[in-house]
Every structure is written in structure tokens, then in C-alpha cells.
Amino acid sequence: MQPDVFVVRKSPEKPVRAWADVGVPLLVIEVLSSGTAARDRGVKRRTYQNAGVGEYWIVDPDARIVERWTPADERPEVVDGTLRWSLSGGACGELDVPPFFRSVHGD
């Protein structure tokens, strides 16, 4: 399984040269399509949660939302406003979801 986008902790002792070097990502992002929705919300989500991925985001361009999952979640946080995050290791930021989707959809 390779995600659409992922963030890993940088290690000077072990550079990432292959997928096997990645370890457990801090953040995994999947962008839904009609062909991937069931897998992204099902087996991939459970696999990433069980592996301890810090956050798993499912970006739904049709619904214009982001589902945020953490390892302990039984239901996602559904974000349609501002998505704020803070990952272990200090990475943090925010995404204003409505303008992001307007730019994606061109409206």
C-alpha cells in the first residue's frame, strides 16, 4: 500500500531511499475517487490505524471535506472549515478547506 501523500520523520542516521525505509508515517493522505473510496475508507484506514500512523486524512473532493482519523478513532473528525494539525516532531499548520476545494474545482 502506498498512499497518495505521506509525511515521515527525517532521520540523519537512516535516509529514506526506498519504501521499506519509510517506517510508520506521521501523516498519510488519500484522495478519494469512485474507484478507491471503499478501499481508502476500509482496509487502508484500518491498516494505517493499526500501524500507528499519527493521522490519516481522507480527502473527499466531491463532498469537499476532509476526514481525519487517529489510531484510536472509531469515527473520523469531519472537517469542512479549517483543518489544523500538529504532528509529533513539531510539524504543524492549517488548511482552510473551502478555499482549497474552490481552487481545486475552479469555482
pLDDT digits (tens, 9 = 90+) for 16-70: 888 778 888 899 999 999 899 999 999 999 999 999 999 999 999 999 999 999 9
User: In this model, does residue 87 exceed pLDDT 90?
Assistant: no
- Determine the average pLDDT of the residues in 1-14: 83
What is the b/e burial string over 57-92, where b = at least 16 CB atoms within 10 angstroms of the residue's CB? bbbbeeeebbbbbeeeeeebeebeeebebeeeeeee
Higher pLDDT pick, 18 / 103: 103
Please name which of 69, 56, 63, 67 lies closest in space to residue 101, comparing C-alpha atoms.
63
- Determine the average pLDDT of the residues in 90-101: 90
Residue 49 burial by Cβ neighbours in a 10 Å radius (0-12, 13-18, 19+): middle
Quote the CA–CA distance of 40 and 90 in Å, as a whole number: 27
Q: Is the dihedral of CA 20, 54, 3, 51 positive or negative?
A: positive
What residues contact residue 12 under an 8 Å CB cut-off, 6+ apart?
Answer: none
CATH number corresponding to 5-105: 3.90.1570.10
Higher pLDDT pick, 94 / 2: 94
Q: 94 forms bridges with which residues in the sheet?
A: 84
The pLDDT value given to residue 83: 95
The pLDDT value given to residue 77: 97
